[in-house]
Structures are given as C-alpha cells and as structure tokens.
A and B are shown apart, each in its own frame.
Chain A
Amino acid sequence: MADYSNKLYYQLEQETGIQTGYTRTGSIFLAQTQDRLISLKRINAGLNVIGIPSEIISPKKVAELHHLLNVHDLVGAMHVPEDAVVSSADVALALASAASQNGVQIYDRTSVLHVMVKKGQVTGVETDKGQIECQYFVNCAGQWAYELGLSNEEPVSIPLHACEHFYLLTRPLETPLQSSTPTIVDADGRIYIRNWQGGILSGGFEKNPKPIFTEGKNQLEIQNLQEDWDHFEPLLSSLLRRMPELETLEIMKLVNCPETFTPDMRCIMGESPAVQGYFVLAGMNSAGLSFGGGAGKYLAEWMVHGYPSENVWELDLKRFGALQSSRTFLRHRVMEVMPLMYDLKVPRWDFQTGRQLRTSPLYDRLDAQGARWMEKHGFERPKYFVPPDKDLLALEQSKTFYKPDWFDIVESEVKCCKEAVCVIDMSSFTKFEITSTGDQALEVLQYLFSNDLDVPVGHIVHTGMLNEGGGYENDCSIARLNKRSFFMISPTDQQVHCWAWLKKHMPKDSNLLLEDVTWKYTALNLIGPRAVDVLSELSYAPMTPDHFPSLFCKEMSVGYANGIRVMSMTHTGEPGFMLYIPIEYALHVYNEVMSVGQKYGIRNAGYYALRSLRIEKFFAFWGQDINNLTTPLECGRESRVKLEKGMDFIGRDALLQQKQNGVYKRLTMSILDDHDSDLDLWPWWGEPIYRNGQYVGKTTSSAYSYSLERHVCLGFVHNFSEDTGEEQVVTADFINRGEYEIDIAGYRFQAKAKLYPVASLFTQKRRKDDMELSDLHGK
C-alpha cells in the first residue's frame, strides 16, 4: 500500500503541477538491540522480495549517511533509499485539484449531519447546507469517523479512537540540513526525525499516550490542544541522545496533532455490514500519508468491482463488531496500541487491555488451573496451561524471536493429545443455525456453499463459502441437524462478516431463519485416542468408529446433561470429539469429563497445542492461510467442491475455469530441515520462500511439530516467469521438483515442500508391544 502511495505522490506533482514537497530522502531504521535488528532483518527480507530496495547496514555506514547521528549504541540499521517525504497538506491539495479536474465537486466547510438510509441502502447525505443524493457514501472522517458512524439511525460501528500526538519543529540549523537528509526512525528511542526546512521535525510514540475526544466532538470546546512539554520530555531526551549536537538548536514549536488508532493497529476500510453503499476508510494509526494512496486505490476498486484487487481482510471493517465499539474499550485499547507502534513486534503478541470481555462459563475454572489467555474477537481463549510447579517469564522478558518459554508446556499438551486425551475450550467459534419451514434451507445453502450439503442427517461437511472469483469468504463446517436445519461453525472473527454475507445473499423473501447461536453453546474439544473411552463412559453409548464414524453429529446425553451436540471432529485431524454444550450445562459436563477422564490421563490444553497439531497435518486456517483470493483448488481441496454434481453455486464458474487452466499458486507445506529449534530464529509468518534460489511466495503460518520434531510452515508457492515475472501455472510436478529454502530474517533454511500431509501422522496408536511404563504416567 505504501509503495503505491509513494508512486502516486511521485506522479502527482507531474500530473497536477502542484508542489507536493516530494523529496526522495531515503530512510534509516535504527536498531539499538539485537532483537530490533532481527525485526528489521525480517522486514528487509520482506521488502526485497516485493521489489523495494533496502539493506541492512552497519552503524558505521549509518554515520556516513547522516553526520549528526550518535551511533555508539547502535547494533545496526536498515536503509530504505527510495523512501520519500511529502508535505501532507500539499498532497491533499494536489489530490483535490486532480479530482476537481476530473469533475469531482468538493464542498468546503460543510459538515455532514447524518447519512440517509432507505431499506439498508445509502440514499444520500444530510449536511448543514442541505441534502445531497448519492448511492455511495465514504466515511473518511478520521478521528470523527466513530461519531459519524454512530449518528446513523442504524449505527455503523467504526472502532477507532484518537490520541494526542506531539511533534517538535525547530528553526534551521546553522548549516541548514540538506533536503536530501534521510529520515531517521529510532524505534527503540520511540522517535522519528526528519528534515524540515533546514531544521528538524521530530516526534514519537510515547509509552504513556494521552487519549482524547473519548466523549466525542463536543469535547473539542473544553479541550484545547495544548503543547505538553512534560509529556514530551522522554522523547526529547531520546532525541538529544540520538543527536547530541542539537542541544543548541532553537525550538520553533511543539505541535499537538491528534492521531487516530484502531484496536489492532490496522486501518479500517470496506463496506458496512449493516448499510449497503456505506464505505469507510479511517483509523490510519498515524500512517495516513504513507498508506493513504494505496488504501484509496483498494477502496475505489472495492466500490467499483465489489472487492479490492488484494486480500484486505485484515483491514476490513467487518473484522470488528459492535463489541469493539465501547468508548471505554477504545480509550483503553488505544493507550496500548499507540506505544506498540514503536514496540518490538514479536510473534504471538496478545493485547493486554480491553480483555475478559467475552468469556466461556469455564473461564474461572480454567484460569485457576493455570490457563494463560489470548483474545480473539473479544473472546478469551486458553493458550496453554502452566503447571503449578512452573514459572514463566514476565511479559516483557518473554518477547523473543527464538524458542519461547512455553515450549515444554505445549509439548506435554501435544503429547497428551496424541497418547491420551486433552480437553480444549473452543467456545469462541462463531456458530449459526439456519432453518426453514420447507426445503428452502438446503436449496439456498447449496447455492451459497461449495460442497454438497445434501447429505444424510447427522453428517458434517467441510465446505467453503466462496465468492464469484472462487475465493474463500469463509471456511466452515456444517452439520445437518435434520432435513431443514443446519448448524454452521466458522472461525471466531467471522461473526460479523459471515452474517453480513449470508444476509446479503439469502433471498429477501424467504422464510429462512438465520440465527447467531454463538453465545448459546460452550464448545469443548476432546482430542486424543482416549476421548472415545471418556465419552462412552459418560454417555453409556458406544462411541467407536463403527457406531460413531468420523464427521458425524448426534445429540446425546453426557453425564446428567441431555441434548449435547457431539461431533466426531477435532479441527486437528486427531481422533476425538467436539462437544457443543448449552451453556448452563457447561460446568457440569466439564467437571464430569475431567473426573471420568482422570483415569485416561486427561488434562487441559490450549490453542498453541491445537495449532501445532493442526499445522503439522496441513490444516489451513481461514484468515491466516486462506482468504477471499484463494480458491479450494489452490489449497488442494478439490474433493470438497461439488464441481461434478452439476449444481450451481457461487464461484462455480471461476473454479471450472481454474480447473481447466490450472492454478497459479498452490498452498504448500514446508518442513524445515536444517533448523535448530533451540538456537535458530523461529519462523512466524511472512517469510519468503525460495525455490531453486528464486522467490516463489511467502509463508502464511508456521508451527513446531512435536511429532516430526521439525518446524512446519504453510505458504503459497507461485511460479514467476524468470523473464517477465509473470505468474505461470503451478503444477504438482513444479512443487515436487524443487529445492526449497525459507528465509528467516536473512538466514535461509532448507525445506522440504509437500502438497499432502505426512502420512505417518495419521496412523493410529502404537502396537501393544511398543507400550512402556511411561504410558502409565499421568500426562
């Protein structure tokens, strides 16, 4: 996105003739610590493969590029020579005039009162100077976008919040800085420094930000934006430490210019799930200028074509729901987000604020047993369980790019899943029920979903919910409860998106009933070979594969509780069951499972164990590995598509065409070969994949497989033409015949690429004569 902005601003001056202050200065990102340098190396590797020149340089080289810098405490830096600076006001003016030239009308000094909506569709805008009719409305109100969204009759929740942001302007130096002086980002010092009219402009993202306008615009009257030097003091110290010679430089002013932040530090764009034609682009997290151009382009595509040319799920407004719209939540969260701008970004980071909003009824029980939590869509999920005799590092110390401190804990959980039985609370998954009075449910769903849902009652189908392009809008499991009713399980963060998609595509006049039952059920995942024993003991029903085959769903009693939906799947490929329990029974069922399970070695496990199990079995996950631009064919899931059944469904044409022409990328599993998990940097995601020394794609997720004793990375492999760089068809042969390497922060590790999971992982249970005493230990 930033790259497009850069090109756009570069051209803008030529197209409009308006000075944008565009100067190619380059920028230098400093590292004071080894960890920061690793982080820069990872970014560097990522930049290089998309054609943006950048390099890691030594402190000595830094001093040559910028003579004012104190480099004694640096361990290295990243230099991006093509970075540029522009003047934001001038760019805005240039864009505006370019737009005007092309017939756009701009109303100055006009404030929007609210957006007019009829039947869920934007019809116009009510301003203080009258009405304007329109089909599309884009809310780009920056820090006021939240309020404007709420002013609608049916509110559009746009979770963002402003924080005061300070930057310093000085008079020119004695020998004014050259306009080509590179911009400095000293993230460890929390500051940025750039040339400004021969002097400097320097600001930063402090540890203790000051949120502002929580109450909205009316606060503007009483909160004048003052310079707060005491607040700026740490940043000023940091600036003088980086450039000691500036001591004598004269201050011009300290500017207080609020910036807007979002709950997850990514901007917000896309169409409102509630109102058609209501688009949003806001919450730029202080990167409005650098991402503005690119974001604008995607949004324009979105409005014209209905979807942007890149996957922007991570930026989609629909990743949030009303639950992130509390003012208190936003105020607290942005106080964490703003410092994070310059914090070290390490794998598996969890937000600490705005937590414990949605919890399962078992939360306290699990917490007391040592659960450590992560949050998804406001829902607390256990990561792993710390045994009573073990201590983990404090939050700040646990940040690492290497082997994490929970490694052994998760290992024992995984082992227990493989050899005995574990229980994981997975209540956060989005759960919908779709019913109809007639056969309509099936008809509609057959059109919306890519796999054949006309299965006998009690069967579960893995299926995609595809778009016209054949890409996954959602990847879910659907159980047929009876002839006319279906139970749908989707990823946690699909709650808003999937709802909106279904509502949009379901016939308006149907008697189809769509209900969000997420809150009604607590989900327990019983993973492991002994899950069968635990359940049959609790239900007095035979649970062996003969009676309860895989991907089967049945309502039955567990303990005293009746009406528990038991499904023979675990989202990991391991044997076991998912139990969907009406919440009032949750504690009872959990207690029964734990007490009966004791003799089978049951223990709690968390999502990290689940993740390791899932990835080693090549189970891709929507939102991480697959998205709306990846098709089932590209993930090797042809068997989950009803192409041959002669039924129409959304995306069918695209898939048929793809089937004929071949795919241009293929989800591949790479197993790292010469990687020492104790000493080497761990893969995360976003690492470049090289085939025969050529860049072919990036990883999308990774995990350590305790069974293979190797790291496993998932990622898409492309086939870029050596001459033109054009994408070519990827065949199985292409994948299989290649030497692969994964680049982790500049170090390349050999990898074996596979299109199918390692078969040995699926073989059930060791033979009797393999048993040993340790099998008798409680896990």
Chain B
Amino acid sequence: MPAPTQLFFPLIRNCELSRIYGTACYCHHKHLCCSSSYIPQSRLRYTPHPAYATFCRPKENWWQYTQGRRYASTPQKFYLTPPQVNSILKANEYSFKVPEFDGKNVSSILGFDSNQLPANAPIEDRRSAATCLQTRGMLLGVFDGHAGCACSQAVSERLFYYIAVSLLPHETLLEIENAVESGRALLPILQWHKHPNDYFSKEASKLYFNSLRTYWQELIDLNTGESTDIDVKEALINAFKRLDNDISLEAQVGDPNSFLNYLVLRVAFSGATACVAHVDGVDLHVANTGDSRAMLGVQEEDGSWSAVTLSNDHNAQNERELERLKLEHPKSEAKSVVKQDRLLGLLMPFRAFGDVKFKWSIDLQKRVIESGPDQLNDNEYTKFIPPNYHTPPYLTAEPEVTYHRLRPQDKFLVLATDGLWETMHRQDVVRIVGEYLTGMHHQQPIAVGGYKVTLGQMHGLLTERRTKMSSVFEDQNAATHLIRHAVGNNEFGTVDHERLSKMLSLPEELARMYRDDITIIVVQFNSHVVGAYQN
C-alpha cells in the first residue's frame, strides 16, 4: 500500500489523531453499489455495530503499521506536480453561464460553477442543476449518498422532475398528460446542465417516468378547478416526500426485470441527503434534508464578506431535531433514539432519502429481503435490523424549506455536502469564494467618491489588487478554487502545494480516512438584476 508516511504526522498533529483512533477500523459491510468490499473509513455515516467489532483492527497495529512504513518509503516519489494536481482538481469541474443576452428577461443568476472531489471510490456524492422550462427559475442541488451511491444517484436524476411537476400549473399538467396519452411529443420540463461525468440511468428511466406520471396524474385529479398560485415551499416539500415514497414503493413492489429489481432495492436500502435551491428572480427557496448546507455570500458595504446560513443541518448538533425525534417516539425510547450523536446509534443525518432500514417495519424489511435477490440476502448489512427499533419510521425525507428574498448585496450561494463544511468554517468559505469572484470579475470596484486620492496612491492600490488577482488566476471555477482551499489549506489559511499534493495522492482506500466526498455548487447572482427588482 503506497501510503506516504510523512503525511500521518502533520495530520495527526492537526487533531486527526483522535478521529483515526476513535473510528478507524475495517468494517465489514459490503457497499451496495460498489465492488470494493473493504473500505477503511474515518468518519462513517454508520458506526460499526458491536457485532462487527471483531473486524476492527486493533489500534496498536495501526500505529505500528504507520511506524513501520516510515522507514520503508521515499516520500518524494509521491509528490504530484502542480499540473497533475490541477488535472485531478479540475477533472469534474463544470461551469454554466446563463446566456448573456436573453432579451429583456434578464436572469438574476449569472451562472454557476460546480465541482466534486471523490474520497469514496466510487464517489457517493451527486449534484444536479437544471433550468425549469415550463415555469421560471433554476434548480440546483447537492446530494450526499451513504451506504453506496445508488440512492444519491436516483435522487439526483429524479428529484428535480418531481419539483418541476409540483410547480406546474394545472393546464400544463393536463397538456403533458394528454400528450402522453395520444403519443404526441411532450413539452420539455427541464434543461439540464450536466458535467459529462454526471450520468443518468438508462435502464430505470421508464420505471422512473411511470412513477412520475402517476404523481402528476394524482396532481391533476386533486386539482379543484380553481387556479391557485402554486406555493414553492409546498411544492418542494411535496416533491421530496413523494419521491421518497416512490423509492420506498418501488422497492416493495419490485420489478420483473432482475437488474431493475436489484437496482430499486439498492436505491431504497442506501440513503442520500439533499440540499436543493430554487431561484426565481429574487425568490430563493432552499429545501434541505440532512446535513448538506446552503450558504449565502453577502458583501457588506465596506466590501467585507459575511456568511448567511440558509439551511439547518439535520443531525445531532441541531437541538430542534433532537427535540423532534424525541417527540415523535415514545418516552421510553428517549435515550435510544439518538445515541453517540447518531440516529439509533447508527446514522449521522437525521433526515434522508432511502434508508428504508430506518423507515419500514421489521416485518416489511424481512419480507422484502427474503423475496429479494440473493445479492441482497447475502449482504450482512441489509439484513441487520437497527437496535432499539420499536416505532418506525425513525427517518423522514421531508425537507425544511427556507425562503430568502435576494438583495443586491447577496452575491452568491454555496451549496455543498458536509465534506466541505467539516474541513472549513463557513466564514472562510464565503470569504474565499467572495475574494475569488471579485478578483475574477472586478466586482468590488474602487470609487474615489469625495476622498482625496493622489494618482500615485491609486496606482499603488491598483497594482496591489492586480497581484492579488493573479494568485486566483489558476482556477477558472469557484468550486475548484474552494476545493483547492479545503484540501490544501495550511495553518495560515493559504494553499500549501505540498499538502495539497499529498492529500490528492492518497490511494483510494485511504482517502476516505482523511476527507469525505466534497461536492460544491457556487451560484453567482446578478446584482444589477436583483437591484432592478427592488426598485
């Protein structure tokens, strides 16, 4: 195992030690959608159950192991050159610019940058971005999968369709349904903005479509005839809940096609959190389920940056969530419902898609697993029922929706999975993105306005700004820039190439110990347009 040994010491000094000691072990649970069965993880979403404790490597061994390697390897050979580092960081980057001149209907979004850096192999994070075509607005979301990537993949493909359908007026739904009925071409609903690596499942697309169609048929039937304004908040909540419900149902019903049958089960038994933003003019809605986060970058009048959180993490650090869980279950379970900051002692996020192990009754779980394919039956993890499992469901996909009316000082929105937030403080995130964007676009203009400034002073100031700018020149993508900082920041808050190169040269099986998958979307707002709305 080509582990750069030098690495461990600075890291361990930087308080990683406790993490490794606390949780590092080989956990024998097969990932639902990936072939590698042994994955060491430092911060698993699931803590190993006592039953598997015997699989854990003793701490001493670990220590000796690293000690031993110390004399055996030459660390220099693992250094990546800056271009190599860049090619790793940029492999998944994607930028979308809203077309500059689309008539008078100028968008409040300038565009977005997104990127992801895997730690799991394959990566369990997903991202999506799309423009609603039949209603106004743009959807952006990050999805953090656990116990495999099946659920996050499915949610990233499907959720926006559910949201878009929930937002559609009655007539449009009717039109679409009629078109399906008579075999005419359908109205397009979403314009996706995808990186080539972001794939959609071809095999399940028919199944997914049928579920979606059932949804809109119900919406049509439910319509009372009065044209009411569609409430975005309600639409988001309905869409989340409906999709989770469909995931659950599809797994219960199964599919005659064995591949699909296995797929819907993997989707249901794995889990995913979701953080989705819907931007329409100055109306920004954030729907969050789980512990990804949406952060608004606000530029104060003096040019400094401050962070406004637009979502609440649904985990043990959130008092209200603890409260909610306790209320939803009998008093007798008050102690067991959250243990070691985890749901039933197992799951870190308190809300998520999929994860039927925390939703279905024990009977249902057993029935589905028994009738399911062998792969499912052989899997220790799926068979295992959480402890103290008395009053399911313990988990919901219902999002918490935050509304924010955009102001000219709101310059950008960062959506990111917890992989980012656990390595960087939100304030630093906003500052780094803010400085990056202003550097790129001179958005923070200097004005002389009334002050006494000489040509020489101004010249000095401008030269300084320009040199600052050239340092961010390396990245053309704000998300990439942020990942570079998240992974490579040293004590002084500046990117240390050596550190960056070491972190990125970690072998697949080790990477997960030092970081989680990171997925970031940075949405840039058009202050001019936002300002015009205000007037």
**A residues touching B (Cβ–Cβ < 8 Å)?**
170, 214-215, 218, 221-224, 226-233, 236-237, 239-240, 246-254, 327
Contact = CB atoms under 8 A, between A and B. Distances in A.
Contacts of A240: 455-456, 459
B462 A230 contact: yes
A254 B455 CA distance: 11
Contact of A227 (B101, B448, B462, B463): B448
B442 interface: yes
A247 B454 contact: yes
B532 interface: yes
A190 to B, nearest CB: 16
A772 B126 CA distance: 75
Nearest to A236: B459
A222 B106 contact: yes
A230 B529 contact: no
B445 A226 contact: yes
Interface string B231-269: 000000000000000000000000000000000000000
A250 B452 contact: yes
B459 A228 contact: no
Contacts of A236: 455, 458-459, 462
Contacts of A222: 106, 528-529, 532
Contact of A228 (B442, B448, B456): B442
Contacts of A232: 462
Interface string B448-474: 100011111011011101100000000
A249 B446 contact: no
Contacts of A223: 528
B373 to A, nearest CB: 55
18 contacts: A170-B455, A215-B101, A218-B104, A222-B106, A222-B532, A229-B462, A230-B445, A230-B465, A231-B442, A232-B462, A233-B462, A233-B465, A240-B459, A246-B456, A247-B455, A247-B456, A250-B454, A251-B448
B51 interface: no
B442 A230 contact: yes
A399 B465 CA distance: 33
Interface string B157-175: 0000000000000000000
Given A237-B459, A240-B459, A229 B446 contact: yes
B446 A248 contact: no
A231 B532 CA distance: 25
A230 B446 contact: yes
B445 A233 contact: no
Given A227-B446, A248-B456, 14 more contacts: A222-B106, A229-B445, A229-B446, A230-B445, A230-B462, A233-B462, A236-B455, A237-B463, A247-B455, A247-B456, A247-B459, A249-B454, A250-B453, A250-B454
A227 B528 contact: no
Nearest to B462: A233
Contacts of B448: 227, 251-254
A251 B458 contact: yes
Q: Which 7 A-B pairs have the closest CB atoms?
A: A247-B456, A233-B462, A222-B528, A229-B446, A230-B442, A215-B101, A251-B453
B327 interface: no
Given A229-B462, A230-B442, A246 B455 contact: yes
Contact of B466 (A170, A215, A226, A233): A233
B455 A249 contact: yes
A230 B455 contact: no
A233 B106 contact: no
A239 B529 CA distance: 35
B447 interface: yes
Interface string B218-229: 000000000000
A227 B447 CA distance: 7
Interface string B511-535: 0000000000000000011001000
Nearest to B465: A230
B443 to A, nearest CB: 10
A69 to B, nearest CB: 15
Contacts of A226: 445, 447
A338 to B, nearest CB: 18
A302 B445 CA distance: 47
A251 B101 contact: no
A706 B452 CA distance: 64
A239 B455 contact: yes
Contact of B455 (A224, A227, A251, A253): A251
A250 B456 CA distance: 9
Classify chain B's interface size.
20 to 34
Most buried by A among B104, B462, B528, B529: B462
Contacts of A170: 455
Nearest to B439: A230
A228 to B, nearest CB: 6
A265 B528 CA distance: 32
Contacts of A239: 455
Interface in B106-158: 106
Nearest to B101: A215
A215 B455 CA distance: 35
Contacts of A252: 448
Nearest to B453: A251
Contacts of B459: 233, 236-237, 240, 247
A172 to B, nearest CB: 13
Given A223-B528, A249-B455, A233 B463 contact: yes
Contacts of B453: 250-251
Nearest to B460: A247
A240 B532 CA distance: 38
B454 A251 contact: yes
A232 B463 CA distance: 11
A249 B453 CA distance: 8
A248 B454 contact: yes
A223 to B, nearest CB: 7
A285 B466 CA distance: 29
A611 B231 CA distance: 71
A222 B461 CA distance: 28
A223 B527 CA distance: 11
Contacts of A249: 454-455
A88 B453 CA distance: 27
Nearest to A171: B452
Nearest to B535: A221
Interface string B426-442: 00000000000000001
A443 to B, nearest CB: 50
A493 to B, nearest CB: 30
Contact of B445 (A218, A227, A250, A327): A227
A214 B465 CA distance: 29
B370 to A, nearest CB: 63
Contacts of B104: 218
Contacts of B465: 230, 233
A251 B454 CA distance: 6
Nearest to A252: B448
A252 B450 CA distance: 8
A247 B455 CA distance: 5
A230 B463 CA distance: 9
A302 B101 CA distance: 38
A230 to B, nearest CB: 5
A223 B456 CA distance: 29
A230 B454 contact: no
Contacts of B446: 227, 229-230
Contacts of A218: 104
Contacts of B462: 229-230, 232-233, 236
Contacts of A233: 459, 462-463, 465-466
B511 to A, nearest CB: 39
A214 B452 CA distance: 35
A326 to B, nearest CB: 12
A251 to B, nearest CB: 5
A252 B452 CA distance: 8
B392 to A, nearest CB: 53
A230 B447 CA distance: 10
A593 to B, nearest CB: 44
A256 to B, nearest CB: 11
Most chain B CB inside 10 Å of its own CB: which residue of A237, A240, A247, A327: A247
